[in-house]
Amino acid sequence: MKKLALLTAGALAGGALTLSLQAFADKEASSPLPLNELRTFAEVFGRIKQDYVEPVEDKKLINEAIKGMLTGLDPHSDYMDPEAFKEMREGTQGEFGGLGIEIGAEDGLVKVVAPIEDTPAQKAGVKSGDLIIKIDDTPVRGLSLNDAVKRMRGKPGTKVTLTIARKSEAKPRVITLVRAVIKTKSVKFKLLEQDYGYVRVTQFQEHTVENLAQALQTLYKDNKTPLKGVILDLRDDPGGLLNGAVGVSAAFLPKDALVVYTEGRAEDSKMHLTAKVQNYARGGADPLAKLPAGIKNIPMVVLVNGGSASASEIVAGALQDHKRAVVVGTQTFGKGSVQSVLPLGNSGGIKLTTARYFTPNGRSIQAKGIEPDVVVEDGTLNASDQQTLRVREADLENHLANPNGDDKAPAKPVLKRPAIKPAVPAQPTPDNGKDAPDESSSREPNPKADYQLGQALNILKVQQILINKKGS
């Protein structure tokens, strides 16, 4: 009983502190504490400590209680222990301690898709097609890609030994590498053909806006003449940093154009973010200042699908509302909420939903998504398969409701053009790096193999023909 009393007192003290802080934040300090619920919490805590089949550490119980409190709110609020918080920060910063290898899975082993230029892996002679069969003394067979990535990542300056099988060699080779700071780029680009550029944003990170500016400048330089059209590929981009979405939108919109606004309970969650340098630059010079002037006016297509979420939907919605681009593909995921990442004293943090965001025309995308101007199905799946396999925000348990009161119907009438069906289904494009948290897709953009990309390119060419006719 004495132990239970101490546990109760500790739980009550912790609960009182948490609730008092919350009450202070909401300026509702006069609200009474839910003592009955706190007593129940303490009683359950005590029962687990006393009667559970195996001993459980207090730290684990408290962490799981905090996690449950947050995950019960909505699908995107979460508690991150120090390790998870560190990984999240590495993901948004685009930097981590590792080896610099794009990886995929093959026959239960880890396959090297490509070593990243100027990294420990490349310098040690790791090649595309190599199979990693051991990481230090741990066999790779049976490990998930996530587990393999965690074992290869680590503090810069530390060593890791890889045992590699290469088809051209009879015996495996053992390579010891020293981890270094690896910087990933969230923007990939290519000239699809003369005058038509392609830019893919795989995730919105701290350096995405700078990387996008460099990509567009390089495309103009490589083309030797001004581009006649550009495709922005946001398919399967899960989102990321809000200021990154504002910056990517600002690259194509007039100065001070509204990109997105947010509404929440706290005053600092109510924002109107425009295409202004203060809303996307990380400090210092404007990364978009040297963009070619023509990028604001050339024909543009934005590619989206069911994997385009959050920041991707902000960009697609802004460019669609301003009639700056034709949005092509399939309906997006529908994540129209903003999460604030708040660090905690234990070096962990919480991800808390603090606002809903709205497109410039006042559309909420929450649990609805962006509807393309031109619906183009993925040529590798038929419509019924896509409907069956698709999981969207509206399918998630405890998802926030759309403030317009309808999670499925558009907030206002939307002109929907007929869906374009492929005459001959395109062959699937391999994406070997897809499941590797280290890397974004290694897929090469190919309009002939990628049906949606091919249709996007056709739309750009039709727009250019219309521009030429108008000019003549």
| Annotation says 118 is catalytic | no
Among 130, 195, 321, 438, the active-site one is 321
Among 335, 351, 438, 440, the active-site one is 335
Q: Do 187 and 150 meet the contact criterion of CB atoms below 8 Å apart? A: no
Q: What is the DSSP string of 171-216?
A: S-EEEEEE-EEEE--SEEEEEEETTEEEEEE-SB-TTHHHHHHHHH
In whole angstroms, what is the distance from residue 401 CA to residue 365 CA? Answer: 10
The token pair at 343 is 């660090």
| Annotation says 30 is catalytic | no
In whole angstroms, what is the distance from residue 136 CA to residue 134 CA? Answer: 6
Q: Which among 425, 239, 252, 251 is positioned nearest to 326, based on CA atoms?
A: 252
| Annotation says 249 is catalytic | no
Quick one: CA dihedral 451, 457, 459, 462, positive or negative? negative
Among 249, 308, 310, 440, the active-site one is 310
Q: Do 331 and 289 meet the contact criterion of CB atoms below 8 Å apart? A: no
- Rg of the chain (C-alpha set): 25
Half-sphere exposure of 421 (CA within 13 A, CB side): 5
Active site residues: 310, 321, 335
